[in-house]
Each structure stands twice: as C-alpha cells, then as structure tokens.
Amino acid sequence: MAPPFTAAHIESSPRRIRVLFGGKYVVDTQKAKLVWEHQYFPVYYFDAEDLPSTYLRPSTASNKDVKPDAESYDMVVGKSIAKDAVTKFFTGDVAGLVKIESKAMDAWFEEDEQVWNHPKDPYKRCDVLQSSRHIRVELNGVELANTHKPRLLFETGLRVRTYIPMTDCRVDLLENSTLTTECPYKGVANYYSIRLPNGQVTKDIVWWYRTPLVQVGDIKGFMAFYDEKVDVWVDGIKQ
C-alpha cells in the first residue's frame, strides 16, 4: 500500500523513541510502531513490555465505554497522574500493543530531538521557498499585508501556506493572543488576532514561529494568515 494510506497501516520505526512523564522516561524503545489510524498522520504504538506495568493503574472513569478488545489505564508516576492516557489492545493487527495519548505526556523524543503533537510522517516533507509573487491580504476591505517577498511553505498533502515579512504587515492591527499550537515539522506557533479600525476583532487569524525547527528556519518571524478567513490576491488575481 502506497502513501497516503487510506486504510489502517502499521510499520516499524527505525528511531529510538522516548516518552517523558513525571520526570521519568516511561518508554525508551527502538521497537516503536508507526500506526496510521487515518490518512493524515501516524501515531506511535508500543509493545506492551516497553511500558512498565508499575506506571499503570486500571482506569476508574465511570463514563468510559467498555471495549471487549481493549483496556484503559491511568499513567501514574509518583504524584503525576494522566487519567485514561494508555490503551492496551488485545485483538487485530494491534494486539499486544499499547497507545499513549500524546498530549497527556510531558514530552516525546525521536532520538534526542523533541517532537510535538504527533510523530513526523516519513512520507511527508516541508519545503520553504523564497518567492517574488505579489501577495496582498485583506479582511473586510482593510488591507492587512502587501508584499513582493513572501516565503512559501509546501507541506506534502496540505495547501501551500504564505509567510509574509512582519514589516510588510499592518502590525498596528495585530493583538497578542494566548493561543499556541504545536507541529512536528515546524515547532510551536504563536498567534495574533486582528482588530480592524471599526473595532471588529477576528481572533487567532495570524500565526508565526519565534523559533521554528531548523528544517523550516526560513519562516522565522514571518506572518501567515488563514487564507480561508481572509481575501488574498496573488499577482493581482483574487484566490
């Protein structure tokens, strides 16, 4: 089966994977499995013996569905508890494997590099290319950005994203947001909201990377607008 995978797919990962929780590496293995539960990205599953049972406590959540082919556990390390964070499977292709909810843990590492949100898909890549296209961005008739120096980020399977120098954006319209998101390919993104001169606020419509991962370092400090929420012209043509 060739990517993108449209059905469940499992393959071994050649990388050393470590999972940090409560000051302990609860998993440290070179036998992790990449499991595509859907076509968008994989998640890590582990052999049951790679997660010591001393860290597991049967889930007591009263509202959790009972599944005959799986059991749910809390992760417990000292005073740190992640409820329903571990699922152990007994049937099918994932029999004998466990899944750990990624956001319930403190950190994940591929080899010695931290990875965010979910594993990197070995069949995807990100490329940042300098462009001289004329990009103009508006919201409700107010110009937000105008540049001939965009950097275009091409990420396999996703729409092209345009990153614009901050100096070519209406910084007077930007309002700080507390939102952050994590991407295994780009790192941690910070957000801005837009306040138009009429007082209208559109929340979390702009994002940027203070310290992007080295593979996409050229987008550092550049602004990306949600194209789906604004009007965009490329070389004079409205998109």
Residue ranges per structural domain of the chain: 9-115, 126-238
The CA distance from 188 to 211, in Å, is 8
Q: Which amino acid is at 21?
A: F
Place of tokens 């050393």: 16
pLDDT tens, 15-34? Answer: 999 999 999 999 999 999 99
Given a contact cutoff of 8 angstroms between Cβ atoms, the answer to whether 203 and 174 are in contact is no
Q: Report the number of secondary-structure helices (H) and strands (E) in the chain.
A: 0, 22
Length of the chain in residues, anyone? 239
Given a contact cutoff of 8 angstroms between Cβ atoms, the answer to whether 161 and 152 are in contact is yes
The CATH T-level fold of domain 126-238 is: 2.170.150
Q: What is the pLDDT along the chain (239 residues), one digit of tens a residue?
A: 556 666 678 999 999 999 999 999 999 999 999 999 888 889 999 999 999 999 999 987 644 555 668 889 999 999 999 999 999 998 888 889 999 999 999 999 999 989 888 888 888 889 999 999 999 999 999 999 999 999 999 998 888 999 999 999 999 999 999 999 999 899 999 999 999 999 999 999 999 999 999 999 999 999 999 999 999 999 999 99
pTM of the model: 0.78
Q: How many CB atoms lie within 10 A of CB 131?
A: 17
The CA distance from 234 to 137, in Å, is 9
According to CATH, the superfamily of the domain at 9-115 is Domain of unknown function (DUF427) (2.170.150.40)
